[in-house]
Amino acid sequence: MKFSLILFLILSCTAYAKSIRMVQADKVFLGDVTDQQALEAYEDPSIEEKNKVEKISAKIGDTIEFANRDEVNHNVSGTFGGVKVFDVKLQAPGKTNDRSVLLTKKGEYYIQCAIHPKMKFKVTVD
């Protein structure tokens, strides 16, 4: 009985946790755009305008994955309460980070590229 309850809780958490895909293109963070849209963002500013992300909401247990569809390297890291909590390390064009970043705390994460300080967004986790 206890076991089924635990199993149920694990399965429900897994079912509700979402994976958030952030695409780096033209030195901004775009929401869940396709690789084709990321390519077109260079010549079509409306794609960037429509999909540019500066803040998002998430839940504890959600993960974020960073895809570099830009023409230059990026290095995304995140802080929580002023403390660095993850660093994706240098990501070459065409690369997606190997490990998704798990959001484990309730509050605000600030995510930024070390190379391009204007590339940043906030994640509010509740």
By CB under 5 A, is residue 116 in contact with Cu ion? Answer: yes
What H or E segment, with its residue span, contains residue 14? Answer: helix 2-16
By CB under 5 A, is residue 115 in contact with Cu ion? Answer: yes
> CB of residue 56 vs Cu ion: minimum separation in angstroms?
18
What would the two tokens of residue 84 be? 């660095």
The DSSP call for residue 124 is: E
Please answer whether residues 109 and 85 qualify as being in contact, where contact means their C-beta atoms are separated by less than 8 angstroms. Answer: yes
Q: Which of 71, 61, 54 is nearest to 112 (CA)?
A: 54
List the x/- string, 64-93, binding to Cu ion by CB under 5 A.
----------x-------------------
Buried b (16+ CB within 10 A) or exposed e, 11-31: eeeeeeeeebbbbbbbebbbe
Q: What is the number of the residue whose Cβ is closest to Cu ion?
A: 113
List the x/- string, 5-44, binding to Cu ion by CB under 5 A.
----------------------------------------
By CB under 5 A, is residue 120 in contact with Cu ion? Answer: no
Residues that bind Cu ion (CB under 5 A): 74, 113, 115-116, 119
